[in-house]
Amino acid sequence: MTGTLDTMSSATVHGAPPADPPLLDVGELRKRFPVSGTLGLIGRLRRRMKGGPIHLPHVYAVDDVSFTIGKGETVGLVGESGCGKSTLVRVLTRLLDPSGGIVRLGGRELSLTPARRFAKDPDRARIQMVFQDAGESVNPRFTAFAAIADPLRRLRGLRGAALTAKVEKAADQCGLPRALLSRFPHQLSGGQRARVGIARAVAVEPALLVLDEPTAALDVSVQVVILQLLERLKTELGMSYLFVSHDLGVVRLLCDRVLVMYLGKIVESGPARAVFANPLHPYTRALVDAAPSLHDRGAGRIRLQGEPRSPIDPDPNVCRFYGRCPKGTDLCRAEMPALRRFGERDVACHFAEEITAR
């Protein structure tokens, strides 16, 4: 690896070759939430009466995130809880409005449509989501049939025999026996529920499927089957995946590329195998080291100490990982590292070259 140090804007860095425009193009996406609790209602009223500024502190949940997902590509998104994965997913799936930046799906700018109106948008069907535990995310009073039929009815306007045919087709594609369609979620096993969750998402033929830890609640033997099902569906239906997961082992197997997120920012991205085999960012290194493996007893791994920095109004000049990072120098406290390109990878660390050189 040569380690070219030209610091390009991240939007261009992630750009796919111009011949094949990406399916999803996310640029400088930001989502901030005001934190009113620190001041309280009385405090805010008092401040307003004094005519003072009513600036509230904000949680920087997603901060300047750019990436693309190509057609047919599977991109993994990993990071600790609280790092902004879920917020990012909710903004991308247009359940939340971004505070800034763009979300472009197949050339169309989606962030201009408010989340409230997007529910009725023709593009709603093109981004679908599979949630973590279908036992909890599927309406317990809906049968499997009703759960799969609901998005088809609302988004595709199907009724009657056409609807039934489509539901049965989705069930067949997901390996859910038709005899189970009349059952309620609590009458299904974990694996069958996962299939219902997938079937309802793919029934409306989305271009992009966002999967939020789809196998986290499953045993390994069932997980294997579901992962292989997802892999097959992707090819059969020509979808792209954004795969959110804690389980680095699963991400390594399923994903072409991976994004590593820490406190609202992408700290490393690149081909999944390369990133996990040789992490360049100290946080990625710590994540990989922390993931238990059948083959090593974890000797010599980086142990992360301390709690993450506060995401509320973070200092723009301090690396978000500073304080937990085993490297942590004065430079990290004085200048936020930008994403820089290393071959096929992007890394936001001042010391990435040292790690490349190893």
Stretch of 4-12, 14-22, 87-95, 299-307 contacting another protein, by CB under 8 A: 299-307
Q: How far is the CB of 295 from another protein (least distance, A)?
A: 8
**How near is the Cβ of 329 to another protein at its closest, in Å?**
21
Closest CA to 210 of 330, 89, 98: 89
Any contact of residue 249 with another protein (CB under 8 A)?
Answer: yes
**Range in contact with another protein (rule: CB under 8 A) among 24-32, 141-149, 235-243, 252-260:** 252-260
Q: Which amino acid is at 349?
A: C
Q: Which residues contact 215 (CB under 8 A, 6 or more apart)?
A: 194, 222, 223, 226, 227, 245, 247, 250
- 3-state DSSP: the chain helix, strand, coil percent, rounded to 5? 35, 20, 45
CB 311 within 8 A of CB 321: no
Contacts of 129 (CB under 8 A, 6+ apart): 89, 93, 201, 209, 210, 211, 212
Site for another protein in 189-248 (CB under 8 A): 189-190, 219-225, 227-228, 231, 246-248
Q: Which position among 50, 186, 297, 358 is part of the footprint of another protein (CB under 8 A)?
A: 297
Contacting residue, 23, 134, 233, 250, with another protein by CB under 8 A: 250
Size of the site for another protein (CB under 8 A): 40
Contact criterion met (CB below 8 Å) for 234 and 201 = no
Candidate segments 4-12, 13-21, 117-125, 288-296, binder of another protein by CB under 8 A: 288-296
Considering the rule CB under 8 A, would residue 179 count as an interface residue with another protein? Answer: no
293 binds another protein (CB under 8 A): yes
Near another protein by CB under 8 A: residue from 56, 115, 253, 336: 253
Q: Which stretch in 88-96, 171-179, 202-210, 285-293 sits in contact with another protein by CB under 8 A?
A: 285-293
Task: Work out how close the CB of 325 gets to another protein at its nearest, in angstroms, rounded to a whole number.
Answer: 12
- What is the nearest approach in angstroms of another protein to the Cβ of residue 212? 14
Least separation in angstroms between CB 241 and another protein: 13
Out of 176, 287, 348, 352, the only residue in the binding site for another protein (CB under 8 A) is 287
Candidates 76-84, 89-97, 156-164, 331-339; binding stretch for another protein (CB under 8 A)? 76-84
Biggest alpha carbon–alpha carbon distance for the chain: 68
Q: Edge-to-edge, what's the strand order for the sheet holding 74-78? A: 127-130, 208-212, 240-244, 74-78, 257-262, 265-271, 345-347, 340-342
Alpha helices in the chain (DSSP H): 10-13, 40-49, 85-92, 115-118, 134-137, 144-156, 160-173, 190-202, 220-237, 248-254, 272-277, 282-290, 330-334, 352-357
- Which residues are within 8 A (CB) of 298 and not within 5 positions of it... i.e. 6 or more apart? 289, 292
Q: Using CB under 8 A, pick the residue from 58, 169, 183, 301 that binds another protein.
A: 301
Of 15, 21, 80, 271, which one interacts with another protein (CB under 8 A)?
Answer: 80
Alpha-carbon distances of 83 from 88, 219, 261, 294, rounded to whole Å: 10, 26, 6, 27
Name the residues that contact another protein, by CB under 8 A. 80-82, 189-190, 219-225, 227-228, 231, 246-250, 252-254, 286-287, 289-298, 301, 303-304, 306-307
